Structures are given as C-alpha cells and as structure tokens.
Structure 1
Amino acid sequence: MTPLVEPVVPVPSTAPAASAEVLRPHAEEAFAGELAALAAQDDRPRPERWRMSPWAVATYLLGGTLPDGTVITPKYVGPRRIVEVAVTTLATDRALLLLGVPGTAKTWVSEHLAAAVSGDSTLLVQGTAGTPEEAVRYGWNYARLLAHGPSREALVPSPVMRAMAQGMTARVEELTRMPADVQDSLITILSEKTLPVPELGEETQAVRGFNLIATANDRDRGVNDLSSALRRRFNTVVLPLPESADAEVGIVARRVGQLGRSLDLPAAPGGIEEIRRVVTVFRELRGGVTADGRTKVKSPSGTLSTAEAISVVTQGLALAAHFGDGVLRPADIAAGLLGAVVRDPAADGVVWQEYLETVVRERDGWQDLYRACREVAA
C-alpha cells in the first residue's frame, strides 16, 4: 500500500479567529496569549511536532507564573500528578483515556491538552449512540463517488485520519456512548498506527506527534463497555471530584466568572456566599452526609457535579441581572437547585424535601435559602 495522505507539518487551526461575536472560543483562541508566552519561554525538550514541552503543557493546565511575570491561569484544579501522567502519556505511543463521573472536567481537560500540544483542539469526534464508523475512519463524497468511483478526491477524512496525517492530537468524546463496533475501529489505528483504505488499496500512516485523547463516563458502564483489546491501547487517568469544598468553590467561582463575562453578565455582589451554599448542598447530597458528619441524608438520582453547580450559579446570575437588583440572592439560585436535584419527580422530590426540612431549615443563616426553595417547590 502507498500512503493515502502525505505527512505534513502541523498548521494553525483553520477555525475562525476568536472575536466578541463568538459565544465560546476554542481553547487555543481564548488563551492564545498564554500559549504564546509559554511557547516563547519554553526551552525544554519538545516531542516531535509538539508546540511546547510536556512541562509547559502541564504548567498551562495547572497555572503558574513565568520568569517574565506572565501569569498562567489554572485550567484544571486537582492533583498535579494526574495532569503530569496525562501529559506524559501523550508523549508515548499509548492513547489517553480520561475517565470520571459527569462534571469532572474531562472534556475541558481534553480540549486544553490538545490546544497546548497541537495548537488545535478541533479534531474532534463526538461519541453518541448513532456515531457511524465513518466518523472515526473516513467517509465519501457521494456525488463524486457516484460520478467517478472511489478516488482520493471523493474520500472525506475523519478528524482522526487528519490528525494521523498531520501528527496532531485527535479527540473522541464519550467513547463508551459509541456502538462497540465503532469503538473497535480504533484498535488498528492505536496499535498499528495506520488506517487502511481498502477501496483505494492505500493507507494513512500516523506520523510522529499523533496521539488520541478519549473521554468516558463512569456512569455509562454497561452501555457500551470497552473491549479488553481496545482498553489495552489506552492509559486510563481517572479525574476525581474536587477533594474539598474550598477547592470546588474556587472552581465554580472561576468558571462562573468566565461565563459571566462571555455573556455580558455583571459581577454580582455577595456571589461567593451563594456559590458556597450551592457547593455545600451538592456535596452533602452526593456524599449522603452533612459537612459536619452528624446527619445522614439521602442522595438523589442525579450526579450533582461541579459542572451542574456552575450552571445553577450562572442561571442565578442571569436572574439577578435581568429580573433582580443585580445582587445574587437565595431566590436566584433556588429554582436552579430544584432543577438540578429533582430529576425524578417522585423519588428525588422526597429526597429534596427531607433535605430541606432536616438540614437547610435547621442550619444557622440558611433560613432565607429555605424559604426561597420552599416557594419554588410550592
């Protein structure tokens, strides 16, 4: 077989430049300044076709201050060793699987890793129950295929195929949501580093710098479990929930601030107090016990992740800005709390009511939140 796609040097993302009109810029656009500053001062060895060294990639994820005073904001708050293992995995011939419960920043970490390593986080395959094999391998332009038969011009490369040819980082989101036969189309790619195209008698061979990051959800076990053959091709890194309430409050406050600025929401006075309440409620309900360890509580069916806490607070900010006095109050977060906790109206409704009566009602300084939640639930 002859190579289907000639190896090329990675080029900058062809995605539109970030502007005020873009609701959510890609990581390489939103943090272009930090990435450029890191690359400029990075004098450590870089793997082939990497934009910066593994040390610089980890610094970009975890944050720090460069010798010239440039501040790198943290993108991930968690154990440093987790990030170091993830980054070094990408520098080997093993693919990386980010595993964790919903809301543990798997997609966020995946995007920023790809942005730092390759300068392009857009080589993405979104896994769903309906993802076809063509999304992972390649497809065809059927107009050209019918007119001229199989040809290079008729072939439509997948993001994975393009990453192989360019020595870049591909991403596969929600790998376990994809059908098993589609998952297993990755085996040859990850083990042999080649993607055959039998219709043309050709192949695409991965060039140095290629690797793949996949994410999977702990709660999806039993949906489409990975085969042992495919799992062996990955180095699995588990992203945990934040260890402490303070860490989770910091994560929520930072992301809410970023989202608020992108949505032109004013900073709400007193917001940190309500963020701490939301985080406390979520941690207690998912842990099954109050923060002081004295009272056991029932857990609802939902995950109550950090990502959901961010959504609850962002919604509250919007309510305070557009229908309140601009100050984030319990009444602004009550509806969001109810929607996040009560997914099953029958079972979760009982859990929420018991928690309100036994914990929120009796907690000093939380009577305003109790009244707001009761009014919403009425």
Structure 2
Amino acid sequence: MTTAVLRQHAETEYAHELAALARFDERPRPPGWRLSPQAVVTYLMGGTLEDGTEITPKYIGERRLMEVAVVTLATDRALLLLGVPGTAKSWVSEHLAAAISGDSTLLVQGTAGTAEEAIRYGWNYARLLSEGPSRAALVESPILRAMNEGRIARLEELTRVPSDVQDTLITLLSEKTLPIPELNEEVQAVRGFNLIATANNRDRGVNELSSALKRRFNTVVLPVPDSLEREVEIVLTRVEKLGRALEIPARPPALEEVRRIVTVFRELRAGLTEDGRSKLKSPSGTLSTAEAISVVSHGLALAAHFGDGELHAADVAASLAGAVVKDPVQDRVVWLEYLETVVKERDGWRDLYRACREVS
C-alpha cells in the first residue's frame, strides 16, 4: 500500500516542466548543470515554451534578482539569500537546486544546536570502534555529498548556526576541498558543486557572519512584495497550489477577500494605511506574505468543512487575529485600535470588522 506524499520535492512536482525546459534548452550549460542559466531563470519566473508547455512562475518579483542569483551559482562564489521571514528564501533555494542539480534534498537546517558534523562529516561509531577510521565508517553530511556528486547544497538559517560552526565553511568555500585528517585524505568538490544559504535579516546580532565568511558569499536580498497587486497574486497562486495538494473541497477564494487580508497585512506591516493618510502602530510580528497565505488557506479549510465552501470574513477572522497578535498585551492593543479606526470605517468591510471583533 502506498501513501501519498503530503508535499513533493520541487524536482518531482515540476518534473514535466524541467524535462520540457531541458528539451528546448540549446544554450551553454555550466559544468554539472542540467539547464542553462537562462532556462533556470525561465523555470523560476515562468513562461511558455515552443511546444506550448506552460512554465508556472515559482517566484513573483524582480527578474533581475533571479538572474543575479543564478549567475552567482555559476561562479566560484556561494549564494546567500537574505530577507525578512516569509520572502520566499527557502522556496527560491529549493527551486534553484532542483533546476540546476535535479536534487533539492541536500539540505542542512541551521539551528543553535547545529554541530560541525552536520556541515563536514560524522562517524558510524559502531563501525569506528570495530574497524577503526575508514571510508565505510564515515557518515557524509549533505554538503559533503554535494561536493562528491557535483550538486547544489542548501543551508537554511545560516545566522542561527554557532559562529565556530559557520567558520567550517570558510575553507570549504574558498578551496573547494574538505580535509579528513582522520583518514589522511581530502574530498575535492566535483564541478557543479555550490552552496545556497538563507538568512533572516531580523536575526542580526544572533550569530553574525565573520568578514572572512561574508567574502565567500554573494548576497541577494529578497524584498517584501512592492505592491498590493503583486502580493495578492503571490497569495492567490500559492493558496491554489496548497488547496490542490491538500484536496481542500472549497471554491477558490474570492479576489476581494484575499485583497482585504493582504491589505491588512501591508498596512500593519508598514505602519501606514494604503492611501498614506493615516499612521498606524505596527505589531511585533513580521506579518509576512507566507503568513497571509496561511491565513487564507486556513480560512478555506474552515469554509470547506464547517461552512458553505466559500471563503467569508468569519472564516479568516480567527487566524487573521492570530497572525497579528503575537504579544497578547502589546499586539492586542495595536489590533483593536486598527479594527476601530480603520476596518470599522472602511466601506464594505463591516463584515470583517464584526467577525474580527467577535474573536478578539
């Protein structure tokens, strides 16, 4: 009996798009790459191929940012994707690795407890004790595997990793080699290897990167969406895909309902109403696009299973309030003031005001 996977890796979910791109890709490819840089950008930004195959956009934003990111990976410098939470850093990282290497799974999740072995290598201690140091007893990290196979490795939340562990990357990225002194050997990276790291610029001061390590990276800052329409487009696109994957039996969300939710996020995030006339207090959370996607998806599930299948204000009110109110004291004051001074007074928003007041 097979169990359906809840979320497929990018190279599996979009295998038909990657195959179609490879079929028509006649431009030069860097060593070890499955697609040319131009085809990788098309995969990320979307387009239509000669045979009519539609390439869905994975990133909705400035094309130049993706061009710089892709070209970086074709050089000897690693790529650092930097931005506030919810700006699609991990999403872009996964799709870059899938398009370039055909494998997005060589991943290290950075935390305060990440050890050096997660970046370099570890040991199978049963074999180590019985046989002594040997290749068979060596446990390769995802980054070491990427070096051996000429693939893209990924390191999430680099600034969460302790500084002494971060510095393990310096020799690896500059010399493209990883010494294994226990075996008197070294691993030299195969052509095609590179590293994509992500970092949250709200984590500044947690574990700052050393200047030596910063020099090994080219940094691309992924901004929050620059307009309401672009952010609404991102939310609608991602919610549609999530709805299909989770098989939520609800009708697609109405554009105006999504626009209201995104407007709330943008206004509170900026501390200013969309028309620029009123200043607002901002809550302590980030109110990212990813959280807006979560609010709409949660509302759709509620509408599907406990409503009429159509998204209404009552379906999103609880999760909307939960996204805003992270601090039960400070953020609650900000949220209630916003409801009374903005939502209550806005034409066509009375239903949202009543629903949010009920749960707040």
TM tier, smaller: over 0.9
Cα deviations by residue, 1:188-226 (Å, 9 ceiling, x for unpaired):
100010000000000100111110000000110000011
- 1:307 and 1:28 map into 2 onto residues whose CA distance is 22
How far 1:150 sits from its partner (Å)?
A: 0.7
Match of 2:20 among 10, 32, 37: 37
CA drift of 1:329 comes to 0.2
Query: What amino acid maps onto 1:146 in structure 2?
Result: L
Q: Distance in 1 between matches of 2:289 and 2:111?
A: 23
1:66 aligns with 2:72: no
Is the CA contact (8 Å cut-off) linking 1:269 and 1:326 kept in structure 2? no
- Counting aligned pairs with the same residue, the percent is 75
* 1:320 matched to 2:320: no
Secondary structure, aligned partner of 1:199: helix
Please give the alpha-carbon distance, in whole angstroms, between the structure 2 residues aligned to 1:230 and 1:257. 39
**Is residue 240–residue 252 contact of structure 2 (8 Å, CA) maintained in 1?**
no
Mapped pair 1:355 → 2:338:
yes
**Residues 302-357 of structure 1, C-alpha deviation per residue, up to 9 Å, x if partnerless?**
00000000000000000000000101000000001111000001100000000000
- Supply the distance in 1 between the matched residues of 2:34 and 2:250 (Cα, whole angstroms): 35
The answer to whether residue 166 in structure 2 is matched with residue 183 in structure 1 is: yes
Question: Does 1:88 pair with 2:110?
Answer: no
1:49 offset after TM fit, Å? 1.0
Match of 1:253 in 2: 236
Distance change (3 Å), C-alpha of 1:269 and 1:194: closer
Are residues 1:292 and 2:272 paired?
no
Measured on the aligned residues, the alpha-carbon RMSD in Å equals: 0.9
Aligned residues: 359
- Partner Cα separation in structure 1 for residue 52 and residue 131 of structure 2: 59
- Tell me the amino acid that sits aligned with residue 231 of structure 1: K
* 1:270 Cα deviation after fit: 4.9
Structure-1 separation of matches of 2:304 and 2:4: 21
- 1:61-110 deviation digits (Å, cap 9, x = unpaired): 00001111111000000101000000000000000000000000000000
**2:100 aligned with 1:124, yes or no?**
no
- Kept in 1, the 8 Å contact 2:148–2:187? The answer is yes
Please name the residue that 1:346 is paired with. Answer: 329
SS in 2 for 1:274: helix
Indicate conservation of the 8 Å contact 1:316/1:332, yes or no.
Answer: yes
> Residue 20 of structure 1: CA displacement?
7.2
Any residues of structure 2 matched to 1:172-211 within 5 Å, and which? 172-211=155-194
Distance 1:202 1:154, change over 3 A: same
- In 1, the alpha carbon distance for the partners of 2:103 and 2:253 equals 38
Could you tell which deviates more after superposition, 268-277 or 227-236? 268-277
- Are the counterparts in 2 of residues 164 and 210 from structure 1 also a CA contact under 8 Å? yes
State yes or no: 1:163 paired with 2:124: no
SS in 1 for 2:266: helix
Structure 2 CA distance for aligned equivalents of residues 40 and 269 of structure 1: 33
8 Å Cα contact 1:123/1:170 also seen in 2? yes
Residues 227-268 of structure 1 deviation map (CA, whole Å, 9 limit, x = unaligned): 111010000000001111000000000100000111111342
Q: What does residue 110 of structure 1 align with?
A: 93
Structure-2 separation of matches of 1:335 and 1:220: 28
Q: Is the 8 A contact 1:259 1:314 kept in 2?
A: yes
Give the residue type in structure 2 aligned to 1:199.
Answer: E
Q: CA deviation at 1:149?
A: 1.1
SS at match of 2:290: helix
Following TM superposition, the consecutive aligned residue runs of length 4 or more in structure 1 with deviations greater than 4 angstroms are none
The alpha carbon displacement at 1:148 in A equals: 1.2
Letter in 2 for 1:71: E
Describe the SS at the equivalent of 1:277. Answer: helix
* One-letter code aligned to 2:53: T
**Residues in 2 aligned to 1:35 and 1:196: alpha-carbon distance in whole angstroms:** 35
The residue type paired with residue 324 of structure 1 is: G
Alignment match of 2:259 (pick from 238, 255, 276): 276
1:237 aligns with 2:220: yes
Task: Name the residue aligned to 2:132.
Answer: 149
- Residue identity matched to 1:191: S
TM-score by length of 2: 0.99
